[in-house]
Amino acid sequence: MIPNCWEESSIDLQGNSDPDLDFAVNWTSKFQEKQSKKKQHLEACDGNIKEHIYLNVKHSASSKKLMIRQRTEKKNITNKDSPVSCTTCWSIAVILGILFLALLGTTVGFIIKGCACPRCPEQWMAYRESCYSFSKEKKDWNSSRESCRAQGARLLVISDTSEMDFFQTMQTELYWIGLKNSTGGDWAWEDGSKLSGKKVLSNSPVQKCAGLLKGAIRASSCEILAPWVCEKSLQ
């Protein structure tokens, strides 16, 4: 007799369960439950990841906007402050320029004031350490001497050969100089020194005053009208 396969199934007609079938059912149920929990966990993780990405993107966008706004504000502040800075720099430059000019003027003033450079008066000629003036008028010897004294000078006193040579090239007519023979003896200069080493050309013993003529010292009458040479130190 062929055995009945239905009769050997997991559940008999009397309602008794097959242990193997129960195990399979339980395992399947647990597996499905695990899969369901795993799916839920993955869905939860996926949601968290998406939320985290969203927050990062949002934070990045916010940070970028904040940086742009800060740069804009900084640029606006710089542009706003630029005129003030330029004005300040310009003011400082003007003040420094004024101070420089004031210092320069003061320095020049001190230089001019403290300059020890001697100068001759106008229309006077400088030679070595003296100033000389050649008159265009003609007067007698005594009047010529007074004219020189009125200018703080004296009639020319020739002190050395170099000075004599200097005037030799300039005189084409008689000019009164500060040399006179008042006693009929020695000739004396206006400064009181005696004539030495030079000869006075004279044609008459009454010629008591001297003048320069063509490089030589010549005696003449003191009443003769002639131009004169005044001399004074550089000032």
Query: Which residues of the chain have a pLDDT value below 50?
Result: 1-16, 81
Report, in angstroms and rounded to the nearest whole number, the Rg of the chain calculated over CA atoms: 65
Q: What is the model's pLDDT at position 196? A: 80
Domain 125-233 maps to which CATH number in 3.20.20.70, 1.10.3720.10, 3.10.100.10, 3.60.60.10?
Answer: 3.10.100.10
pLDDT of residue 159: 84
* pLDDT tens sequence across 8-47: 444 443 444 555 556 655 666 766 676 676 666 656 655 5
* pLDDT the model gives residue 202: 87
Half-sphere exposure of 31 (CA within 13 A, CB side): 6
- What single string gives the DSSP state of each residue in 105-144? HHHHHHHHHH-----PPTT-EEETTEEEEE-SS-B-HHHH
What is the per-residue pLDDT for 58? 58
| Domain edges within the chain | 125-233
Question: Which tens digits make up the pLDDT trace of 129-148?
Answer: 899 999 999 999 999 999 99
Question: What does the block give as tokens for 163?
Answer: 């000075």
What is the model's pLDDT at position 184?
Answer: 75
pLDDT at 93: 84
Q: Give the per-residue pLDDT at 134.
A: 93
The owner of tokens 């800060």 is 70
Which pLDDT belongs to residue 172?
75
